[in-house]
Amino acid sequence: MKQLKSILWQSALVAGCLLSTGATAEAKATVNHTFEVGQGTFLLDGKPFVIKAAEMHYMRIPRPYWEHRIQMAKALGMNAVCIYIFWNQHEQQEGVYDFETDERNVAEFVRLCQKNDMWVIVRPGPYVCAEWEMGGLPWWLLKHDDMKLRSLDKNFMTAVGRFERALAKQLEPFRLENGGNILMVQVENEYGSYAKDKPYVSAVRDSLRAAGWDKTQLFQCDWSSNFTDNALPDLLWTMNFGTGANIEQQFKKVGEMRPDAPKMCSEFWSGWFDGWGTAHQTRPADKMVQGIKDMLERGISFSLYMTHGGTSFGQWAGANNTGFAPDCTSYDYDAPINEQGAATEKYYKLRDLLQQYSDKKLPNVPKAKPVVPVNEFVFNEFAPLYAPENLPKPQAVEDIHSMEYFDQGYGSILYSCQLPVTQQEGLLTITEVCDFASVFIDGQLLGRLYRGNKFENTLRVPALPKGGKLDIMIEAMGRINYSKLIHDRKGITDKVELCTRIKGAELTYNLKEWEVTLLPFDYDFMASRHYGALDNTADKAGYYKTTFKVSKVGDTYLDMSTWSKGIVWINGHCLGRFWNVGPQQTLFVPGCWLKKGQNEIIVMDIVGPAQAKASGVVTPVLDGLHREFLPKDGFRMETNSKNKFERSQLVGNDAAPGAK
């Protein structure tokens, strides 16, 4: 044990002393470091080195807070930072790259790590999972009907190669051979849970090397149960597992196959993520710390996923594949550094342990950012969601198409058509609802459908002796980020049918001749709606706006408990989604996005609030579950008719107006 601790202390000294002589963005390094796989250990500049990495995602942290979070990880006892690269953040339009705007400047994040003597592990995907929209893949890939994601599909691999080259160019100054601080780069991500396809994994490896990572240590991660399915002989193999796992068992198989290779847990899960409509997730601090101790005693490197989770601001929270289970906006993850960036009980317990494996006193824990309350305020302006002046010009199409067909990646989409005359009650079936639908006939709410409820895609329709106008508003809630279901198109993906009876015979109308209205997910659109004074009735779908005063700037948590479902913008920054089903009832508001004095807030609520008011509280509410607010399961009616008609084929009294 003493000998092993000596190696670990030596590795800490190497990390602290050698990295401080490395390059920064301001001055080129005079010393280039080496990192390689040695006999049972990693070697940094030829000396034994144990990686103690803190996973945190630059896109989930406001840019002004980046350095604070890096310093929090360093004070915890970590010597590296592990980051995912979210492809869909940097290439939101095909062929248009953004590595500079706000939180997208990944090179600046890596530079700040180097400034603070922290090594970096880069995980560029192309797929990353991370409870992030579509696992990090850009939505525009789904514009191609025949696109096969995470495969050797020519179009997919061409897009991957193009992006990896663009990313590598940004990070070129930070390669070790250029005096930088990037130790390793990951090839794909947990591919064994998706498919068995070594040629594809090999192609991603080759793409990374061709982009410029040919001198960098490449590795692949997976689970102990499936890593051999795609394991490549020339890559380092690392394992992923969480709190409470048996360390010996997790590394048993890889140890038998590669007894002399260094071992690493590339994701040791400190907690877990939350999904809308499910219980808040936590994991015991003592078990997490014991797991890390067990690894350090064996000289096993690790990356703690997450050390700081942060927030999936905007539309970037993804969805799990258990049916359809959208993730909450908060990515607190029950991590040692909480969503707001403050140290938790887990932090101090882990810090005590990691101090034992450091040859010098750890840095002081940085002060947490101040948290301030904001007095309750009420909204005084309102723009109705369905008012004609607030709806963009519709597009006319014959058949139903998903949102991607109309070149929109996020937000909401409104489908409208004329219903036929019917004399009896019918059944409306939407195939399929992606993800939350509000259905109206002649402006009256028929019902709401939620993809997360099993079988929910049907609603009863009353007799329509004069026909009627059907409106279906679909809110996209985040694409599935795990499994084959990442091919997750939004809106209505197939068709809408109305089943009814005519003189005892069952008929199904495949509805046609649609008008489609796009409602994008951006500040300019929200701010430019036609606002008027808000009357006493607040429970309306629409856009709510006001200003609120801040006398002292600091972080706060926006209490959204009186609202129903939608998104929030403050001073042009999107805080993310809210939903009264919980468990999350507050939204994190970074103080760096606020200003002393007046601040603008816009809330889009697609259902309507009970009360149009809000306040800032100093403690988040992440465990307020209210499943009673979920839409009830849709009505199901068995049908066995083989008589399916297009509307244009119907004749007689029940035909749609204008049908031939």
User: Which amino acids are annotated catalytic?
Assistant: 190, 267
- φ, ψ of residue 566 to 5 degrees: the values are 165, -145
Q: What is the largest CA-CA distance in the chain?
A: 91
Tokens of 390: 């607030």
- The residue among 87, 5, 77 whose CA lies nearest residue 48 is 5
- Residue among 607, 610, 609, 570 at smallest CA distance from 587: 570
Phi, then psi, of 182 in degrees rounded to 5? -85, 115
Amino acid identity, residue 483? Answer: S
Question: Beta strand 217-222 with 236-242: parallel, antiparallel or unpaired?
Answer: parallel
* Residue 217 CB-half CA count within 13 A: 20
383, two tokens: 């723009």
Nearest Cα residue to 415 out of 431, 425, 426: 431
Strands 426-434, 573-579: pairing kind? unpaired
CB-based contact 427:446 (threshold 8 Å): no
Q: Which residues of 354-387 are buried (b: 16+ CB within 10 A; e: fewer)?
A: beebbeeebeebbeebebbebeebebebbbbbbe
For strands 532-533 and 458-461, give the pairing: unpaired
Q: Which helix (H) or strand (E) holds 287?
A: helix 285-297
- Show the CA angle centred on residue 352, arms to residues 342 and 11, nearest 5°: 105
Q: What is the DSSP letter of 583?
A: S
Q: In what order do the strands lie in the sheet with 458-461?
A: 458-461, 426-434, 491-502, 505-510, 644-646
Listing DSSP states for 522-571 in one string gives: SHHHHHTS--EE--S---SSEEEEEEEEESS--BEEEE-TT--EEEEEET
Asked whether the beta carbons of 480 and 324 are under 8 A apart, the reply is yes
Among candidate residues 195, 423, 454, the one with its CA nearest the CA of residue 323: 454
Q: CA 73, CA 56: separation in Å to the nearest integer?
A: 9
Three-class DSSP category at 8: helix
The residue type of 506 is E
CA distances for 350 relative to 344, 363, 476, 488, 509, angstroms: 10, 14, 39, 39, 62
Q: 604 near 566, Cβ under 8 Å?
A: yes
